[in-house]
Amino acid sequence: MSSALPSFEEASAMVAKHASQLSPPGAIERVELSCAAGRVLAQPLHADRDQPPFVRSTRDGYACRAAEASAHASLVMAGSTRAGQPPSGPLPPGAAWEIMTGAPVPAGADAVMMVEHVEALDGRVRLLPPRTLSAGENIVAQGAQAHAGDELLGAGLTIGYAQIALAASCGYATLHVYPRPRVAILSTGDELVPIESEPAPGQIRNSSSLMLAAQVAAAGGEPWTLPVAGDRAELLDSALEQAAVADLLLITGGVSAGKFDLVEPALARRGARFHFTGVRIQPGKPLVFGELPAASTSQNQNRTKYFFGLPGNPISSAVTFQLFAAPVLSALGGAIDRGPRFTLARLACDVKGKPSLTRFLPARCTFTGNAPEVERVEWQGSGDLVAMARSNCFLVVPEETGSLQAGATVRILLA
């Protein structure tokens, strides 16, 4: 009975509430800065010195006193400084000082005339009228960006290229990061064969395990792909026993209402608490979310284990991972920015449908124009890997409306 199921928003709120109580399961690690991209900062990053560490020129030109330059006085060239070199002395009155971008500004100077704006002749330099110069122009004061000891970045931030550059500028050769949560990926289904195999009639290759491993890695986890479990209670029991040591369990397939959908009973046999067993979304309606009691073999004995039973169709698995599992994984990884990531775009085509479930339709968004524009990618349902691979986002169709008009501003889930 779909009306008894939580809506997308209700299910998201439930997952977010559980995620907010999670913390990273293992000891903090120390990694080389060169290997830190994608990891989550476990300790704040501090400035080891003022940034910039000296009054710095942002232009090639002439350091001077702005008032003298603006009077268009002919200033005598008192010295020259390049990046990496402290000035040999202060700036004398009535003088200018040749300076390169990134070089320390001599004491006494309060601005830099750009080389393009002056006339330089016979050891003298003059700002060309009608240009004038204000104090502070083309220089950055010492400590303008940060002071020595300031906290620059807090724990929980995911490290990207910008954070690496900042850490490098502060002399961090290594960073403390949270451990990557270990995520068990268990695909179920008698019809699944390994990707190297030639499927017999009725069989298909197991595409979801590798897909989810890629999604787990992108969300900051360490994927642990288990062998496929067949649709038999005892096979599921032993696979779940094995998977229970992971920090998070993803099980795909076997959560619908079919005769061989045996995952929920198998989880129940292990003492699972189910938070929901379906959501009013499409694809992904049979999604299961819950927790298992701590496994006695686990290193983290006091912790319950969250699990997601992802519907078997690959697009259902992919979408429900992005919407619900990724935020839990991010929380286990210590990240404060948990997603899922939505943005607004202009819809390029009509979308027809009836109010029913919140739909997430494969779509392609272009970001090259003035505003993002999104178009549907035709699909043959939630098993259509071709459509998903040709899309780069999912168009969100709210359950109250079911249809959308071309030109409307719509939400998209970024893949």
Task: Please give the residue ranges that form the binding site for ligand AMP (CB under 6 A).
Answer: 187, 189, 191-192, 204, 206-209, 252-256, 258, 261, 311-314, 383
State the binding partner of 313 from Mg ion, ligand AMP, none, CB within 5 to 8 A by kind.
ligand AMP
Minimum Å gap between C-beta 7 and ligand AMP is: 22
The 10 Å CB-count burial string (b at 16+, else e) for 64-90 is bbbebbbeebebeebbebeeeeebeee
Q: Of 81 and 209, which CB lies nearer to ligand AMP in the complex structure?
A: 209
Minimum Å gap between C-beta 140 and ligand AMP is: 55
Note whether 318 and 215 are within 8 A (CB). yes
The correct pick among 25, 220, 253, 284 for binding Mg ion (CB under 5 A) is 253
Phi-psi region of 191 (alpha: psi -120 to 50; beta: other; left: phi over 0): alpha
Binding mask 309-328 for Mg ion (x = CB under 5 A): ---x----------------
Q: Of 107 and 204, which CB lies nearer to Mg ion in the complex structure?
A: 204
Of 173-181, 219-227, 305-313, 344-352, the segment contacting Mg ion by CB under 5 A is 305-313
Distances from the Cα of 306 to the Cα of 181, 245, 294, 338, angstroms = 12, 11, 10, 16
State the binding partner of 191 from ligand AMP, Mg ion, none, CB within 5 to 8 A by kind.
ligand AMP
Q: Of 236 and 410, which CB lies nearer to ligand AMP in the complex structure?
A: 236
Q: Of 255 and 329, which CB lies nearer to ligand AMP in the complex structure?
A: 255
The correct pick among 156, 189, 221, 278 for binding Mg ion (CB under 5 A) is 189
Distances from the Cα of 209 to the Cα of 64, 289, 329, angstroms = 65, 18, 17
Residue that is written with structure tokens 């971008």 in the block: 101
Q: Of 61 and 254, which CB lies nearer to Mg ion in the complex structure?
A: 254
Of 137-145, 184-192, 296-304, 383-391, the segment contacting Mg ion by CB under 5 A is 184-192
Q: Of 314 and 333, which CB lies nearer to ligand AMP in the complex structure?
A: 314
Can you read off the two tokens belonging to residue 271?
């003492």
Note whether 213 and 224 are within 8 A (CB). no
Q: Of 179 and 189, which CB lies nearer to ligand AMP in the complex structure?
A: 189
The per-residue DSSP string of 85-122 comes to ---SSPPPTTEEEEE-TTPBPPTT--EEEEGGGEEEET
Q: For residues 233 and 148, give the distance between their C-alpha atoms in angstroms, rounded to a whole number.
A: 61
Minimum Å gap between C-beta 248 and Mg ion is: 21
Collapsing DSSP to helix, strand or coil, 317 comes out as helix
Instruction: Confirm or reject binding of residue 156 to Mg ion (CB under 5 A).
Output: no
Among all residues, whose Cβ is closest to ligand AMP?
A: 312
Residue that is written with structure tokens 């709120």 in the block: 13
Collapsing DSSP to helix, strand or coil, 365 comes out as strand
Note whether 358 and 402 are within 8 A (CB). no
Note whether 353 and 397 are within 8 A (CB). yes
Q: For residues 189 and 206, give the distance between their C-alpha atoms in angstroms, rounded to a whole number.
A: 9
Q: Of 251 and 332, which CB lies nearer to Mg ion in the complex structure?
A: 251
Minimum Å gap between C-beta 217 and Mg ion is: 25
Minimum Å gap between C-beta 170 and ligand AMP is: 45
Residues near Mg ion (CB under 5 A) are 189, 253-254, 312
